[in-house]
Amino acid sequence: MNRSRRQETLATSLPVLPGEAVVATAFGHPSRGQVVCPSAALLGGALRRRGLDVRYAPFAATAEGAVPVRAVTYLGRDETPSGLAVACRADVEAEVAACAEVMRTRRIVLGAPDPRCEGAREHGAQAAGLCPLALSARDEVLRFASRGDTVLVVGREGHAVLPVLLDAAPPGGVLLVEDVGGVHDVRIDDPARVAVVLQPGLPVEDTGSVAVALRERFPLLVPQDPKTVCYAASDRRSTIRELASFCDALIVAGAPDPEDTALHAAGMIPLHFAAGPEDIRPEWLAGTASVGITAARGADPALARELAAALTGLGPAAAVERRVGTVELSPVTPSSTTIPGRRT
């Protein structure tokens, strides 16, 4: 790719206003023909951050014209020309050069699973609304409360699903326990009538440790039906850690998440947040042969794929998906009685 890369100044007759930058979605090159520009938004974002008015359009670049065009092109493995170009009266060579410097062969790793649970996607709603596991957890709260149990919900204040559980029973019938430290603060009239429900949307390894501490304090504690436990957050945590183990940088599609930020603070991997392709900065990609991309909690998973597509114009790229998931197995019914130590 580097052998075929050209960074050059061309021109166009396209009308361009002062203070405006027209970023090519595709452009005609005088010798290479039609050039595709999958990474146009990265250049557009850099120009917008500089304060220019950015619009996107296809245009023809020629050797001569009224408006200068800064362009960089390369030939892919199939000899298809790809690159970037911008028509602008201002000097934008630095922004084009910044994108050109990070062009290289690169692997893009999409992290699965979807941060929204499968049931929520099938029903077209967020987990706080119609997610089957959120409703199942709520039903467990109702079941326990209706028989006179005090229900301890292991959850996190401020999480969207929490009110669905706390409001499922009369006041005083449901108590929130956020961490192990809060276990000793729990006050219950009848320790023999107490149950626990784990809030969906939180890592089971976190909520589970609180449930263990509650059982140690209340030996007659009744757990929820294990089929109603949500593993989506645990799967997502495992996915991010998996990406961090073999990627050079991780881009999270969507708004910053406290847990993702904690991983960044721990120095596991350079981590960046992008609400769209224009937010991706070329410097994030410096020296990266492998870039991981996953969606933030509550973000549309299509956004992660949009970000991945925006990287494919910065050199030959291959995209793979890395999946970490927990699936429920049907009960195994033996066809015959098996005697330990013997084969039948």
Reported as a single tens digit per residue, the pLDDT across 215-229 is: 999 999 999 999 999
From 228, 249, 277, the end of a domain falls on 228
Give exposure, 254-264, as e/b (b: 16+ Cβ within 10 Å).
beebebbeebb
Domain that holds residue 284: 108-116+232-323
From 183, 210, 228, the end of a domain falls on 228
DSSP calls for 84-133:
EEEEESS--HHHHHHHHHT-S-EEEEEEES-SS-HHHHHHTS-TTTT-HH
Segment 198-205 mean pLDDT? 92
pLDDT confidence of residue 117 = 55
Is there a single domain that holds both residue 179 and residue 193? yes
From 228, 262, 295, the end of a domain falls on 228
Would residue 333 count as lying in a domain?
no
Q: Do residues 196 and 230 make contact, with C-beta atoms less than 8 angstroms apart? A: no
Would residue 155 count as lying in a domain?
yes
Is there a single domain that holds both residue 152 and residue 181? yes
Question: Is residue 284 over pLDDT 50?
Answer: yes
Q: What is the pLDDT of residues 59-99, one digit of tens each?
A: 999 999 999 999 999 999 999 999 999 999 999 999 999 99
Pairing outcome for strands 6-12 and 67-75: antiparallel
pLDDT confidence of residue 210 = 97
| CA distances (Å), origin 326, targets 183, 207, 239, 245, 329 | 28, 17, 11, 20, 10
Question: Is residue 16 over pLDDT 60?
Answer: yes
Q: Do residues 62 and 11 make contact, with C-beta atoms less than 8 angstroms apart? A: yes
Tell me the sheet residues that pair with 35.
Answer: 27
Q: At a CB cut-off of 8 Å and minimum separation 6, what does 215 contact?
A: 196, 221, 223
**Residue 212 belongs to a domain with what CATH number?**
3.40.1010.20
CA distance 73 to 315: 10
CA distance 46 to 28: 23
DSSP-based helix, strand, coil % in the chain, nearest 5: 35, 25, 40
Would residue 244 count as lying in a domain?
yes
**What mean pLDDT value characterizes the chain?**
89
Is there a single domain that holds both residue 171 and residue 24? no
Task: Count how many domains the chain has.
Answer: 3
Would residue 277 count as lying in a domain?
yes
Is there a single domain that holds both residue 139 and residue 90? no
pLDDT confidence of residue 127 = 41
Q: Give the pair of three-digit tokens for residue 292.
A: 């991981």
Alpha helices in 109-203 (DSSP H): 118-123, 132-146, 162-166
- Look-up: residue for tokens 């850099």? 46
**Among 250, 228, 224, residue whose Cα is nearest residue 307:** 250
Q: What is the pLDDT of residues 297-336, one digit of tens each?
A: 778 889 999 999 999 999 999 999 988 888 888 776 666 5
Q: What is the pLDDT of residues 92-144, one digit of tens each?
A: 999 999 999 999 999 999 987 554 454 444 433 444 445 888 999 999 999 99
Pairing outcome for strands 106-112 and 317-323: parallel
pLDDT confidence of residue 59 = 98
Looking at per-residue pLDDT, the higher value among 319 and 236 belongs to: 319
